[in-house]
């Protein structure tokens, strides 16, 4: 079902189940505690009354011929004439009078109060209070009929008083049933009706259920609100991502709780969206610039071929046309190779050599290679190169140095200078190429490494496609290094390359 695929609904269901379990546990515990309290109070009253009854019905001790005499304070009155019948050699209890203080514990006029019943084994009618129920619990532990003492002899010791038995419940009655000690052949029963308590417990259960239901409803409502509030940032993120997916790359996630986990996620996504927007902008600019650069040589080829086909020409004119087309094609090939090279660097497919070589010799070789160009423009090259070995691709690094030197000469002032300096600094090889040229405008300086970007002054430098510095940056970064530029109007430009000695 779709509802179980929603995080909001799944959180709500889990929250609801946990809340129900907690409420049920709390309700059952509260009900059980109240029930135990009620029954403990009843059991204490039952045991107190049971102890009073058993104290009243104990027989007197055997003291010889006058043992049958009843003391005035004895509640149990036993008569035993010489010809009176006996039951299995034991005593027949003929009269039983409970003292007033014991009878005061039982309210014979109230059937919901405590009652007592004293039952005899010889089949005589039991002695009971008037409010005792007719149907009582069956006595299961009354033994069949062993004589309580040796036949013809009464017990010679008073039996010890029994501890009250465990109270038992039968229907609406809670009672204690206990057989008296050997020699008495009597069962004492003390009980009371628990209908009122059971009704109170039922009302308590209904109240707990009602309160639990109300708490559950408010808890589910509050949980739904909390879950919705907690997942609101997810909705904002999803909505913003949908707008960005539709093409509006300027959208950003607006998060008020920046310090929360979702706020940190939103910050990361905003940074990603910013880089994505920048990448798309560069891609569009790249495609536009590439088309612009390729359009010029294609236009030259088309113009030359159309002119050659318009009318017949001599061999020299055709040769001139072919040479112009060749130059345009060579420029196109160079541009395409540079674009492919940049694409390989972007994809991480460019394989660099890992050779250990003296970087100062590579720089000196590049300086010798561009020296004729410098002499032609009256630019002086000054080198301060310390021998320094690094690990990398010497051909690629030679390409970087040659490109930077060419730019430093091309955009320098007449009779200017180009200073080369190589030194070690904190485990890095630091190459500085500084010129005394016209400099780079402050608005152009942050963009000099962008592909196809050329400031107005650099466009006067002779047909460059604006990819040289981009290639240099890609090569340096592939070696694990950095390249920086500092410049000012009419004070020259300085490029600083930092390379690890072991890349």
What is the Cα–Cα distance from 52 to 45, expressed in whole angstroms? 11
Nearest to 192 by CA among 255, 149, 129: 129
Q: Give the torsion through C-alpha atoms of 359, 364, 365, 367, to 10 deg.
A: 130
Question: How far lies 467's CA from each of 195, 264, 339, 447, 453, in Å?
Answer: 99, 37, 8, 12, 8
Q: Which three-class secondary structure state does DSSP give residue 357?
A: strand
Residue 445: left (phi > 0), alpha (psi -120 to 50), or beta? alpha
CB 437 within 8 A of CB 493: yes
Beta bridge partners of 390: 357
> Cβ of 190: how many Cβ atoms within 10 Å?
31
pLDDT of residue 202: 93
pLDDT of residue 58: 67
CB 431 within 8 A of CB 440: no
Task: Tell me how far the alpha carbon of residue 75 is from its chain's centroid.
Answer: 76
Q: Write out the two tokens for 128.
A: 């009971």
Beta bridge partners of 77: 95
pLDDT per residue as tens digits for the range 263-295: 788 888 888 888 888 777 777 777 776 776 777
Q: Establish whether domains 261-347 and 355-500 are of one fold.
A: no
pLDDT of residue 433: 93
Nearest to 159 by CA among 232, 57, 252: 57
Question: How far lies 492's CA from each of 294, 356, 406, 435, 441, in Å?
Answer: 31, 33, 14, 5, 11
Close Cβ partners of 472 (under 8 Å, ≥ 6 residues apart)? 399, 400, 403, 404, 449, 483
CA atoms within 13 A on the CB side of 384: 10
Residue with tokens 């009269």: 95
Close Cβ partners of 453 (under 8 Å, ≥ 6 residues apart)? 289, 444, 447, 466
Dump the DSSP string for 478-499: HTT-EEEEEEETTTEEEEEEEE
Domain spans, the chain: 261-347, 355-500
pLDDT per residue as tens digits for the range 217-238: 999 999 888 888 877 778 888 8
pLDDT of residue 204: 93
CB 447 within 8 A of CB 410: no
Phi, psi angles (nearest 5°) of residue 486: -130, 140
pLDDT of residue 254: 77
Give me the CATH topology for the region 261-347: Helix Hairpins (1.10.287)
Q: What is the pLDDT along the chain (503 residues), one digit of tens a residue?
A: 566 677 788 888 888 999 999 999 999 999 999 999 999 999 998 988 888 888 877 665 554 445 444 444 444 443 333 333 333 333 334 456 778 888 888 866 665 688 888 887 776 777 878 777 766 544 444 444 434 444 444 444 444 445 667 888 888 888 888 887 655 577 888 888 888 889 999 999 999 999 999 999 999 999 888 888 877 778 888 888 888 877 777 888 776 666 677 778 888 888 888 888 877 777 777 777 677 677 778 888 888 888 888 888 888 888 888 888 888 888 888 878 877 877 777 777 777 888 999 999 999 999 998 888 888 889 999 999 989 999 999 988 998 998 899 989 988 888 899 999 999 988 899 999 999 988 888 888 888 888 777 664 443 344 456 778 888 998 999 889 999 999 887 788 999 999 998 76
CB 477 within 8 A of CB 469: no
pLDDT of residue 103: 80
What is the Cα–Cα distance from 129 to 96, expressed in whole angstroms? 13
CB 431 within 8 A of CB 421: yes
Burial of 400 (0-12, 13-18, 19+ CB in 10 A): buried
CB 331 within 8 A of CB 300: no
The CATH number of 355-500 is 3.30.565.10
Residue 492: left (phi > 0), alpha (psi -120 to 50), or beta? left
CB 178 within 8 A of CB 54: yes
């Amino acid at each position: 079902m779709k509802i179980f695929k929603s995080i909001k609904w799944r959180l709500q269901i889990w929250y609801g189940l946990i809340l129900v379990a907690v409420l049920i546990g709390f309700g059952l515990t509260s009900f059980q505690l109240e029930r135990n309290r009620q029954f403990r109070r009843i059991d204490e009253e039952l045991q107190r009354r049971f102890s009073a009854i058993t104290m009243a019905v104990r027989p007197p001790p055997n003291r010889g011929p006058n043992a049958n005499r009843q003391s005035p304070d004895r509640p149990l009155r036993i008569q035993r004439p010489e010809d009176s019948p006996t039951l299995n050699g034991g005593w027949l209890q003929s009269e039983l009078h409970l003292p007033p203080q014991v009878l005061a514990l039982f309210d014979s006029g109230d059937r919901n109060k405590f009652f007592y019943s004293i039952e005899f084994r010889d089949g005589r009618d039991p002695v009971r209070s008037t409010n005792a129920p007719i149907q009582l619990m069956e006595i299961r532990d009354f033994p069949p009929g062993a004589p309580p003492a040796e036949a013809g002899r009464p017990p010679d010791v008073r039996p010890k008083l029994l501890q009250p038995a465990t109270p038992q419940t039968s229907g609406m009655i809670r009672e204690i049933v206990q057989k008296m000690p050997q020699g008495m052949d009597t069962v004492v029963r003390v009980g009371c009706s628990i209908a009122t308590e059971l009704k109170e417990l039922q009302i308590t259960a209904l109240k707990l259920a009602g309160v639990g239901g109300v708490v559950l409803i408010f808890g589910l409502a509050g949980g739904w609100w909390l879950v919705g509030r907690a997942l609101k940032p997810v909705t904002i993120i999803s909505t913003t991502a949908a707008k960005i997916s539709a093409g509006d790359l300027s959208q950003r996630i607006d998060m008020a709780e920046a310090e929360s986990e979702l706020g940190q996620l939103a910050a990361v996504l905003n940074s990603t969206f910013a880089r994505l927007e920048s990448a798309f902008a560069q891609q569009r600019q790249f495609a536009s610039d590439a088309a612009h650069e390729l359009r010029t040589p294609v236009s030259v080829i088309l113009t030359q071929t159309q002119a050659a086909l318009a009318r017949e020409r001599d061999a020299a004119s055709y040769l001139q046309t072919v040479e112009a087309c060749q130059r345009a094609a060579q420029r196109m090939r160079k541009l395409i190779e540079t674009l492919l090279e940049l694409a390989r660097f972007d994809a991480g497919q460019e394989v660099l050599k890992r050779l250990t070589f003296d970087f100062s010799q590579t720089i000196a070789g590049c300086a010798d290679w561009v020296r004729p160009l410098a002499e032609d423009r009256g630019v002086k090259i000054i080198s301060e190169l310390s021998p320094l070995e690094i690990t990398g691709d010497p051909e690629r690094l030679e390409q970087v140095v040659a490109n930077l030197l060419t730019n430093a000469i091309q955009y320098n002032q007449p009779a200017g200078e180009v200073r080369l300096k190589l030194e070690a600094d904190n485990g890095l090889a630091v190459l500085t190429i500084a010129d005394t040229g016209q400099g780079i405008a402050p608005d152009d300086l942050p963009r000099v490494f962008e592909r196809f970007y050329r400031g107005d002054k650099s466009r006067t430098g002779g047909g460059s496609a604006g990819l040289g510095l981009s290639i240099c940056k890609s090569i340096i970064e592939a070696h694990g290094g950095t390249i920086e530029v500092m410049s000012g109007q009419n004070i020259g430009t300085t490029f600083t390359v930092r390379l690890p000695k072991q890349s």
